[in-house]
DNA sequence: TTGTAGGCGTTATCAG
DNA sequence: CTGATAACGCCTACAA
């Protein structure tokens, strides 16, 4: 592998001068610069990152901890990786068991992440229980899609649901229910409910909370189907806003089973806008997560934290806006 | 950060002895070993990988190049990462544009991957056009899901389709068609067709090739729906094996549009067994990709290539078996 | 069984 | 503007 030394020998200049050219720090004569550049490209010089890391005592690695596989989160990672790469950082992956929120896999994964001494650690919301350990380590970290009050990039789910209610009302629906996962008061529901309540109040409607079978709450699709089967046709709502696209698709399946027509008899709105949402029958009206914006914002904050920039009041945190995607279930 | 030196000072031993304990190479007295271990854990010693990499002149990074986001591929990466981690390697990510097979993004991404001098490079099949450059670099590489003859871990798609035909026949179907993407002779179809033809011949049936609208071939779901709409009800097949789950779900949607009942009037079998396959209406019978086995096998080969083990005759390559998952569309 | 010393490729200090 | 030279933390001949 060709290093500084080789370029130095080739140009007849000193290592120091070649280094100055490469880092762009320090004054170098026109002539030397041209010579070094030519030689470096001709020889195919590639800086040794290990040596640089050692010397500078800093890593260029941002470790992302994944729990399970989620297309939406990967989309966020996609934009984040791209942005971080442009700033010279690498993204490395640490994959925990699927549904690891409650897994004992997580402490070990966090230990591993710390051992690697990355420049920063990114964690998907839902597994933040152990975050204190990371905070203590001093390594910059960032949560994505968290519901807790650590440094994080979030989505304004409440606003998404608010918009959905307002939209459904504008199309003539008057009995608009919210179908959540498990207990109404759990974190996931709580991040959506304020928007629902607010919109319902503003429109002087009555709130209705549909709750899935808590035993089944691990499977969103089944939960949605379950809710669809439970609904009383006589006094049923004329619109349902679901906790997620998966749940909404379960509702669709349940209504299909019962030959209830969507959207004629009842409208269904999902949440997330997963790729699958456009392929359901009928294609799902849903609230789109701003994946690109989240990824970019995450990269921005990570870079600032690495650079040691002081956190704004209340810490690094933001809630990015969603957009409503109207398809054929409403 | 606490290093070898700190532990040495703390124990009163030399750096060399501490190092011997840490690497496990070389004889150390019981007493020294115990002392070092105690001190190391108490002080929280963490080896500096940059220094080690520099000294040993080797990286512990396996770079995975992703083009777009695919749940199935991520599942493979999940198992691969886990296995590689157990051998002390990290997985880092390089994300190319979605659908980058034909994108000019790829050469730049490959350059970037090479610049990082990873211990190995893993690429998803479909973007192997530039693989020669990697092969020349001498960095161990591995393709996954490739259809070309580089070192790769593959899936025996042909066998999957063969099994599907045999199964459909066993349930009484006699007019079993294959619905592919674009031109029948393209690579993706060619990896499946031999199994179809073989089974059809063995059963003394007649082959029937349904071809999607090539213009639409980029969108599998739409392509499937298109095929479903084209089918002549009079002389239609009584079973269709689709190129992919997405296409199969498009078929389902198309038959739903035309009020053709699945599986009563026609059976549909997908390929991949994506998570979505179990959530379609009706749930899809499909050919499951062996994601775990692929990930594990990939890690195994990568490790061997890194270790410099000689390739078996014909290079590192294998085709892992699929399994048929029977649900409700057949 | 243990220790000394040199070097991996970079960056950065300090003299020229 | 340029060039010796000393680290960075780890590994490993070679000595003791």
Query: Please, what is the average pLDDT of chain A?
Result: 90
Determine which of A161-175, B17-31, B178-192, B298-312 has the lowest per-residue pLDDT on average. Answer: B178-192
Which residues fall within 8 angstroms of residue B159, CB to CB, at 6 or more apart?
Answer: B195, B319, B321, B322
- The model's pLDDT over B71-106, given as tens digits with 9 standing for 90+, comes to 999 999 999 999 999 999 999 999 988 764 556 678
Mean pLDDT of A261-281: 93
Please tell me which residue, B217 or A171, carries the higher pLDDT value: A171
Higher pLDDT, B235 or B317: B317
Q: Tell if the CB–CB gap between A74 and B69 is shorter than 8 Å.
A: yes
- Whether B4 sits with its Cβ under 7 A from any strand D atom: the answer reads yes
CB A194 within 8 A of CB A184: no
Q: How far is A189 from chain B (nearest CA, A)?
A: 23
Average pLDDT rounded to a whole number, residues B148-167? 94
Residue B215 pLDDT grade (very low, low, confident, very high; cuts 50, 70, 90)? low
* pLDDT at site B95: 93
Task: With H, G, I as helix, E, B as strand and everything else as coil, classify residue B318.
Answer: strand
Residue A108 CB neighbours (<10 A)? 12
Q: Which of A231, A227, A217 is nearest to A249 (CA)?
A: A227
Nearest to B184 by CA among B253, B255, B243: B243
Alpha-carbon separation of residue B204 from A5, B157, B277 (angstroms): 71, 21, 30
Chain B residues near residue A221 by CB distance under 8 angstroms: 279
Chain C footprint bases within 7 A of protein beta carbons? 1-5, 7-13
List of chain A residues whose C-beta atoms are within 8 Å of the C-beta of residue B249: 279
pLDDT on residue B169: 98
- pLDDT of residue A85 exceeding 80: yes
* DSSP character at residue A97: P
Percent of chain B with pLDDT over 70: 95
Residue-wise pLDDT tens digits, B39-58:
999 998 989 999 999 999 98
Residues A132-179: tens digit of each pLDDT:
888 888 899 999 988 777 899 999 999 999 999 999 999 999 999 999
Task: Indicate whether A212 pLDDT > 70.
Answer: no
CA–CA dist A28, A21 (Å, integer): 7
Examine the pLDDT at B303 and tell me if it is beyond 70. yes
- DSSP H or E segment with residue A178: strand A176-180
Cα separation of the two ends of chain B = 61
Nearest to A138 by CA among B66, B172, B1: B1
Enter the pTM of the model. 0.91
Quickly state the pLDDT bin for A101 (edges 50, 70, 90). Answer: low
Chain B positions touching A93 (Cβ under 8 A) are 64, 77, 81, 90-93
Q: What would the mean pLDDT of B126-150 be, rounded to a whole number? A: 84
- DSSP per position, B139-207: --EEEES--SSSSEEEE-HHHHHHHHHHHHHHTT---EEEEESSSTTSHHHHTTHHHHHHHHHHTT---
User: Per mean pLDDT, which of A43-52, A162-171, B127-136, B303-312 is the most reliable?
Assistant: A162-171
B74 with A78: Cβ contact below 8 A: no
In angstroms, rounded to a whole number, what is the distance separating the alpha carbons of residues A303 and A66? 20
Smallest CA–C1' separation from B30: which nucleotide? C1
DSSP A311: P
């Amino acid at each position: 592998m060709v290093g500084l030394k080789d370029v130095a020998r080739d140009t007849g200049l000193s290592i120091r001068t070649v280094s100055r050219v490469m880092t762009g720090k320090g004054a170098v004569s026109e002539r030397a610069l041209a010579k070094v550049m030519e030689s470096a490209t001709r020889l195919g010089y590639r800086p040794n990152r290990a040596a640089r890391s050692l010397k500078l005592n800093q890593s260029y690695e941002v470790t992302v901890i994944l729990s399970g596989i989620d297309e939406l989160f990967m989309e966020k990672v996609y934009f984040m990786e791209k942005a971080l790469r442009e700033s010279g950082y690498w993204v490395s992956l640490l994959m925990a068991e699927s549904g690891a929120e409650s897994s004992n896999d997580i402490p070990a994964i966090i230990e591993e992440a710390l051992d690697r001494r990355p420049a920063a650690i990114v964690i998907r919301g839902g597994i933040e229980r152990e975050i204190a350990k990371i905070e203590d380590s001093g390594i910059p970290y960032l949560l994505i899609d968290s519901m807790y009050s650590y440094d994080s990039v979030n989505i304004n789910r409440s606003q998404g649901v608010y918009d959905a209610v307002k939209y459904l009302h504008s199309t003539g629906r008057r009995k608009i229910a919210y179908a959540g996962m498990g207990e109404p008061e759990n974190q996931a529901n709580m991040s959506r409910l304020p928007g629902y309540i607010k919109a319902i109040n503003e429109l002087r409607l009555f709130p209705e909370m549909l709750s899935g079978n808590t035993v089944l709450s691990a499977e969103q699709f089944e939960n949605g189907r379950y809710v669809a089967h439970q609904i009383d046709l006589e006094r049923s709502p004329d619109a349902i806003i679901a906790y997620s696209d998966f749940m909404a698709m379960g509702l669709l399946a349940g209504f299909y089973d019962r030959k209830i027509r969507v959207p004629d008899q009842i409208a269904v709105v999902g949440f997330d806008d997963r790729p699958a949402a456009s392929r359901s029958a009928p294609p799902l009206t849903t609230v789109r997560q701003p994946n690109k914006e989240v990824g970019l914002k995450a990269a921005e904050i990570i870079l600032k934290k690495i650079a040691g920039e002081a956190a704004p009041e209340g810490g690094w945190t933001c809630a990015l806006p969603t957009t409503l995607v109207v398809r054929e279930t409403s």
